[in-house]
Structure 1
Amino acid sequence: MGSFSIWHWLVVLLVVLLLFGSGKISGLMGDLAKGIKSFKQNIKEDEKDASMEAQATPQPPAGNIPGPQQGQASATQAQPEGASGQSRPAA
């Protein structure tokens, strides 16, 4: 009693066909197929764009990344505001 037999599924199919009609169901299936095709096409285009973008941008070598050395701060971090040796005009 826990599983449905083929007769249960045929009755369900008959009720669905009576409610929606065969024209609407075939139209829905056509729209679903168009949506799937469009989705697959967009996925392929995205993969092409990503691979072309990866080829176009050169990657720097992993060990030669320019930047401040350890223990050294950049010029903007090292000096607090107003301590750069320039005097501020009095307000």
Structure 2
Amino acid sequence: MGSFSIWHWLIVLVIVMLVFGTKKLRNIGQDLGGAVKGFKDGMKASEEPKEQIPQGTTSADKTVDVAAKDVHK
């Protein structure tokens, strides 16, 4: 009971293609590829550096107090 030979894998592949059909297998492959691409894009986005606040300033310098504005004239 060693590893399977190439003939075993070909027979399994033929049986899987008969059961599921080539169109469904192609759709599964496209869905899997799209999921992997989305995961990679998500990982790239999380690795991008965040906006750096220059030294000597605080995040309070960039905030806007919306309650102080008079919108009812």
What's the TM-score, normalizing by structure 1? 0.54
Counterpart mapping for 1:7-46 below 5 A: 7-46=7-46
Give, as a single letter, the amino acid of the residue that structure 2 aligns with 1:8.
H
Counterpart mapping for 1:8-87 below 5 A: 8-48=8-48, 51-53=49-51, 55-56=52-53
After the TM superposition, which segments of 4 or more aligned residues of structure 1 sit over 2 Å from their partners? 55-58
Q: Could you say if the C-alpha distance between residues 57 and 26 of structure 1 is closer, same or farther in structure 2, counting changes exceeding 3 Å?
A: farther
Kindly state the Cα deviation for residue 13 of structure 1 after the two structures are TM-superposed. 0.4
Q: Match for residue 69 of structure 1? A: none
Number of residue pairs aligned between Structure 1 and Structure 2: 55
Higher helix proportion (structure 1 or 2): 2
Distance 1:57 1:16 in 2: 59
What's the TM-score, normalizing by structure 2? 0.66
Distance 2:24 2:11 in 1: 19
Bigger RCO of structures 1 and 2 (CA < 8 A, at least 6 apart): 2
Structure 1: segments with no counterpart, 5+ residues? 59-91
Post-superposition Cα deviations, 1:8-57, rounded to whole Å, max 9, x if no partner, equal: 11110010000000000000000011111111111111111xx215x337
